Structure 1
Amino acid sequence: SPCIWVMNKGMFDKLSAEDQKHFLEAAREATKANRARVDQDDAKGVADLRAKGMSVVENVDKAKFVKALAPVNADFEKQFGKANIDKIRNFK
């Protein structure tokens, strides 16, 4: 699954500028490797599901999908607040 790299800001700030640079470069490279692995795992998972007879929809009509989820989204807005749901929707 995707992962994030976390470090205590106080500890990061104590590193030399050079060490900070190396740490950030390593995190970028690790992120690329992790994303590639996630893509591989996803492709394998879909292939396994298809091999077992499952239909996999890849080209979703997004507008239709969003409309179908409207009742669920309304429940989520009540539960978590519209502002939080909007942050998720607008995250890029």
Structure 2
Amino acid sequence: MNSPCGPRSRRRPHPRAETEPAGPEVTGELVLQRAEAGDPAAIELVERQGRRLARIVGVLGSLYDPELVIVSGRIAAGIEPVLRVTRPLLVR
């Protein structure tokens, strides 16, 4: 049966997807830990998030002109590596 968006996908999972064991669950905490340990892939993710955060804060800053941006929630405890990328990108 076809959906309104087109025919159903006929793609099958990659054969190894069913036989290879799953790795550890990737969490923000794990990425930050691995970045601090020097893992190149984790460092790239942290840098990408830092650039993204700088763009978001820049847009919101141009709209609202805040004096301070507060990062809160579960991410706040480990955000420093991301902020090291973000801070130099923000114009004061």
Instruction: Using structure 1 for the length normalisation, give the TM-score.
Output: 0.33
Which one scores higher on RCO, CA 8 angstroms, separation ≥ 6?
Answer: 2
Give the structure with the larger helix fraction.
1
